[in-house]
């Protein structure tokens, strides 16, 4: 990495090429990547072993070591994930709208690739291959900057990406791997707004916020999920139990799991003891507001901190509210704008909740765990955005594109 700016400029130039190839050509690249991963499994595992041994030497946590470790099975999964991206519709070239003006010009709004996408990520090496494949499928060049703990694995994985790209005659620079662990390089990259069109940080909240602060390039990030389920007084009790249990327990470590349960005071006495019993069997730690403690006297009292915490764990805070307005207000104050749910048989309350709760996805009588590109039928996602600009909620290939107006005239000028 002698001159990072020169490298980035080359990637920008090659982005023009990949933006104009056919869907078949792009799928061809992905096909090669998917196959090479399988063919080169032994070599990948060898390189990964170096990273794992270094991680052990450096006394990294078990969880971290597990995340960076590859196995034959994990490589197969990566290869299969690429096959799924091949099956997705190509968003590039879509005609979004088209109309003719009285002066005779025809205007067409079409979908085009963004250009160059920079992905800064931590931990799992599968991001190298999967995120890059989503960028390539949507016609973008990609710059990859993984963490130093996985540098040997990422090196061989990006070699596979580059080889696949050369094979169909595109410049290798379409994929740029930042083969340096120097942090200063990240800050340099975040200034190159003339050559990089989008930054996608994938990692902890602190890392994402830091990148947002330093970057003059637009940032698209997978946000934190502080999700609520509100059980209205008019809820079907069985459904309420089923949804609340699923939203907390089915997979607690992910962003669309529930962290706080809001319960209408008129249904609390009936609902909470049954639910607490179920949660107890699954080892969920409950923390309740003062009124919850009157019904469930054995649990811990929740503090202000609890309403603000994304546990990502088998912990749940519970608050009894006086009415739906209080529930909405609590969510709009503490929620992260990710996924929120109401359980009720009252249509007016459902509609009020769907309208007034400010979040990427709002559910009526369904679990927040369903907020997912695959479940929604939109294909592999690059994450779930809690931002409001450009992308909100689950982000797929479309969110890696932009639009362009094409105007067809016959000599029209401005009078």
Residue 94 and residue 110 in contact, taking contact as beta carbons nearer than 8 Å: yes
Q: Which of 210, 202, 267, 215 is nearest to 241 (CA)?
A: 267
When the beta carbons of 1 and 407 are compared against its own copies, the nearer one is 407
Which x/- pattern over 30-69 shows residues binding its own copies (rule: CB under 8 A)? Answer: ----------------------------------------
**CB-wise, 6 or 298, nearer to its own copies?**
6
**Residue 350 Cβ vs its own copies, minimum distance, rounded to whole Å:** 8
Q: Any contact of residue 248 with its own copies (CB under 8 A)? A: no
Residue 117, CA distances (Å) to 34, 48, 121, 156, 202 in order: 21, 25, 13, 20, 13
Reported for 354-363, long-range contacts at CB under 8 A and 24+ positions apart, including other chains, are 356/328, 356/332, 357/328, 357/331, 357/332, 358/332, 359/331, 359/335, 359/386, 360/384, 360/385, 360/386, 360/392, 360/393, 360/394, 361/393, 361/394, 363/339
Q: Which one of the spans 176-184, 224-232, 309-317, 401-409 is the region binding its own copies (CB under 8 A)?
A: 401-409
Per CB under 8 A, does 344 bind its own copies?
A: no
Contacts of its own copies in 112-131 (CB under 8 A): 114-115
Which of 225, 241, 226 has its CA nearest to residue 365? 241
Quote the least distance from Cβ 242 to its own copies, whole Å: 6
Distance between CA atoms of residues 267 and 273, nearest Å: 11
Q: What tokens were used for 395?
A: 């982000």
Span of 67-75, 163-171, 316-324, 386-394 interacting with its own copies by CB under 8 A = 386-394
Among 148, 163, 212, 398, binds its own copies (CB under 8 A): 212
| Nearest CA-CA partner of 405 in 106, 149, 182, 169 | 106
Of 71 and 412, nearer to its own copies (C-beta) is: 412
Q: Which residue carries 């969110």 as its tokens? A: 399
Site size toward its own copies (CB under 8 A) is 66
Q: Check residue 411 for interaction with its own copies (CB under 8 A).
A: yes
**Which positions lie near its own copies, rule CB under 8 A?**
16, 20, 99, 101, 103, 105, 107, 114-115, 197-198, 209, 212-213, 216, 218, 220, 236, 239, 242-243, 246-247, 250-251, 332, 354-356, 358-367, 369-372, 375-377, 387-390, 392-394, 402-414
């Amino acid at each position: 990495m002698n001159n990072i700016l020169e490298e980035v400029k080359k990637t920008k130039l090659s982005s023009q090429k990949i933006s104009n190839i056919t869907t078949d050509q792009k799928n061809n690249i992905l096909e090669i990547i998917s196959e090479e991963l399988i063919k080169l499994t032994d070599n990948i595992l060898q390189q990964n072993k170096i990273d794992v041994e270094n991680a052990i030497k450096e006394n990294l946590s078990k969880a971290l070591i597990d995340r960076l470790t590859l196995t034959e099975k994990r490589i197969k999964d990566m290869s299969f994930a690429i096959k799924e991206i091949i099956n997705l519709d190509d968003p590039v070239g879509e005609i979004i709208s088209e109309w003719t003006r009285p002066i005779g010009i025809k205007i067409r709004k079409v979908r085009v690739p963004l250009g160059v996408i920079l992905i800064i990520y931590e931990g799992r090496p599968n991001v190298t291959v999967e995120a890059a494949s989503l960028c390539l499928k949507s016609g973008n060049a990609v710059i990859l900057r993984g963490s130093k703990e996985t540098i040997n694995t990422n090196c061989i994985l990006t070699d596979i990406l580059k080889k696949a790209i050369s094979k169909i005659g595109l410049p290798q620079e379409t994929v740029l791997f930042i083969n340096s662990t120097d942090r200063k390089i990240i800050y340099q990259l975040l200034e190159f707004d003339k050559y990089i069109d989008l930054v996608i940080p994938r990692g902890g909240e602190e890392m994402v916020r830091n990148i947002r602060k330093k970057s003059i390039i637009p940032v698209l990030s997978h946000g934190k999920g502080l999700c609520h389920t509100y059980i209205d007084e008019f809820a079907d009790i069985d459904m309420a139990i089923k949804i609340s249990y699923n939203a907390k327990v089915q997979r607690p470590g992910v962003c669309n799991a529930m962290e706080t349960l809001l319960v209408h005071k008129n249904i609390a006495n009936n609902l909470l003891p049954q639910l607490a019993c179920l949660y107890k069997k699954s080892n969920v730690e409950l923390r309740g507001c003062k009124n919850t403690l009157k019904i469930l006297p054995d649990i811990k009292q929740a503090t202000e901190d609890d309403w603000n915490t994304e546990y990502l764990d088998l912990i749940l805070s519970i608050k009894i509210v006086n009415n739906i307005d209080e529930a909405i207000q609590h969510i709009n104050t503490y929620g992260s704008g990710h996924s929120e749910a109401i359980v009720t048989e009252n249509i007016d309350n459902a509609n009020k909740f769907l309208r007034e709760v400010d979040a990427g996805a709002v559910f009526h009588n369904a679990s927040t765990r369903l907020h997912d590109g695959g479940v929604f039928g939109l294909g592999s996602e690059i994450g779930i955005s809690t931002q409001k600009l450009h992308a909100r909620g689950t982000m797929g290939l479309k969110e890696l594109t932009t639009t362009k107006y094409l105007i067809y005239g016959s000599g029209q000028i401005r009078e």
